[in-house]
Amino acid sequence: MTKLSPFHLALPVKDIKKAIDFYHHGLGLPLGRQSKSWVDVDFFGHQIVFHQAENVPLLHYNDVDKHDVPVPHFGVVLEKNQWNELSEKLLNQGVKFVIEPYIRFEGLPGEQGTFFFIDPNGLALEFKTFKDLNQLFAKD
């Protein structure tokens, strides 16, 4: 794979303090600049900005591999050991998984570990790990 450029994503949240508490204190992610109405978070080398908003989009669910996947969602692909450590950390913090850690598309192109949860502001996150990262965009 080629070196990836960091992405920037701005997301609405109802409570900036909850976002800071969860992403910085809970997940241990560094904070960047912030004001009363927004905060930058270093999301595994990518810039996510949470903006205070009254209206946050509702989640929908789509069937993927016989699981109800929340949409919209965002996340990151991690190395297997990072993925295992994060899932254990979240379990120890009492985070409730929407989809508990499991192997999706087992034995098929694009085999991956995945899990989903909802943050305190109602945003859905997915964290993945691939058996072979070169199959990130694999087709059946």
Could you write out the DSSP letters of every residue in 21-46? IIIIIIT-PPEEEE-SSEEEEEETTE
Q: Residue 108: CB partners within 8 Å, gap ≥ 6?
A: 140
Q: What is the pLDDT of residues 73-130, one digit of tens each?
A: 999 999 999 999 999 999 999 999 999 999 999 999 999 999 999 999 999 999 999 9
Please give the model's pTM, rounded to 2 decimal places: 0.88
All domains in the chain, ordered by first residue: 8-52 (3.10.180.10), 60-135 (3.10.180.10)
Confidence of residue 41 (pLDDT cuts 50, 70, 90): very high
Taking Cα atoms as reference points, which of 20, 14, 18 lies closest to residue 40? 20
Rounded to whole angstroms, how far apart are CA atoms 26 and 21? 6
Q: Which residues pair with 12 in a beta bridge?
A: 51
